Amino acid sequence: MKFTAITRIPVVWISSALLSLGLGSLASLPSSLDVAQTVPIGDSSPRVRIGVLGLFHPRQFTVSAPPSHALVVHAGQESVVIERSSGVDSASVRISADAVLLMAGPRAIQASALTVTGRNNEPVDFVLAVPEKITRRYRGTLEIKPSSGTLIAIVTMDRETAVASVVAAEYAPDTPLEALKAQAVAARSYFVAGRGRHHDFDFCDTTHCQFLREPPAPAGAVSKAVAATHDLVLTYNSGPFAAMYTRSCSGHTRTPAELRLPSASYPYYSVECKYCRAHPVRWISRISAQDAARLHSSDEAARLNSVRRLGWAAVPSNDFVVQKERGQILLKGTGQGHGIGLCQAGAKAMAEEGADFQEILSHYYPNTTIVNWPSAAASVWQSGRRQTAQRPDSHPPIVVP
């Protein structure tokens, strides 16, 4: 194991063989290197399968080809090309009993499921819509199949594309680059270590897993942040962990135990957040006495049950006090989200004051390590074999002290 000191920042490089020394757990954090590129959308990065638009319980989808793109829809033994120059630039997919019905131009095809790819079965840009509800653009391959009376749409995409899509969804356009890098490492760590919450796919596109929208423009700040942190993830005890992050804390981050949550592979220390202490996000909400009876401060499970019934604005955080007013319950609180892990508001403020992504991650995730996590190392970790995983890389791993 070789260590080389880096004098510019208080970090050291460490061999990726370190990853094989122990079995890991969960991770997700933002990180970056001083390299500005566009996000790689090729076949070099591992793939993730993400269930999209399931929140709408769709029974119908529309699949469209963007300008200058051709889609091939595979339905059973048949296929249909969707391309503007062919006169058929979109197709409708509906649930039909326990199958799907594809309608493209004059053709109607019923199949148990369908997939959408490029002409050579490669990832492709496409537009997916739930009619009259939502339209989104994706890059990858698409699978649509029936399940319990609705349709499931699964996009298999390059992991770096998924990371960029999460970062773009989580931060405002004016966010400093170093904060974006920190979020990129967090999101990537979650994709590496957070599988297992769904049966039909790896992750969903909601905050149950990670909020995911359309991929950002290749030349934008988010794409640069993701490219600069390519393959970097957070680890604890030599393994990746699915790191948690929150919109804004109340001046200090929380631990899972404080919110009556089970312990995680990473202990999530409570750390001070100077920005949120000086600039807390305050909120007020009114709920019924019946709803209040099911709610408890510093109880994340109870809060989630409440917001699923009443909406996210009803109980934005776990830090609140309860008051009675005119037969209703008044909640007065601070913060947004569960308050565990990286505070996005605090990370943005740290970056604005000159902190780099390593310093941000070191502050919110003490005692963690940032390493390169190539697919070979991932295979070693997941199988539990104690062997060295090697891969040439121009960006050696980083240890956050």
Does residue 22 carry a pLDDT above 70? Answer: no
**CA contacts within 13 A on the Cβ side of 155:** 27
The reply to whether 385 and 365 lie within a common domain is yes
Residue 106 located in a structural domain: yes
Find all residues with CB under 8 Å of 54, minimum gap 6, and list them. Answer: 150, 152, 153, 204, 205, 206
Residue 269 located in a structural domain: no
Residue 104 located in a structural domain: yes
Burial 374-398 (b: 16+ CB within 10 A, else e): bbbbbebbeeeeeeebeeeeeebbb
Q: What domain range is 316 assigned to?
A: 282-334
The reply to whether 344 and 330 lie within a common domain is no
The reply to whether 30 and 74 lie within a common domain is no
Which of 80, 115, 148 is the endpoint of a domain?
Answer: 148
Residue 136 located in a structural domain: yes
The reply to whether 242 and 172 lie within a common domain is yes
| Degrees, nearest 5: CA angle 51-56-61 | 75
Residue 291 located in a structural domain: yes
Residue 158 located in a structural domain: no
For the chain, report the end-to-end CA distance as a whole number of angstroms.
17
Q: What is the pLDDT of residues 51-102, one digit of tens each?
A: 999 999 999 999 999 999 999 999 999 999 999 888 899 999 999 989 999 9
Q: What is the pLDDT of residues 111-165, one digit of tens each?
A: 999 999 999 999 999 999 999 999 999 999 999 999 999 999 999 999 999 999 9
The reply to whether 98 and 247 lie within a common domain is no
In 3D, which of 103, 126, 120, 118 has the Cα closest to residue 72?
Answer: 118
Q: What is the pLDDT of residues 149-158, one digit of tens each?
A: 999 999 999 9
The reply to whether 141 and 177 lie within a common domain is no
The reply to whether 248 and 103 lie within a common domain is no
Residue 161 located in a structural domain: no
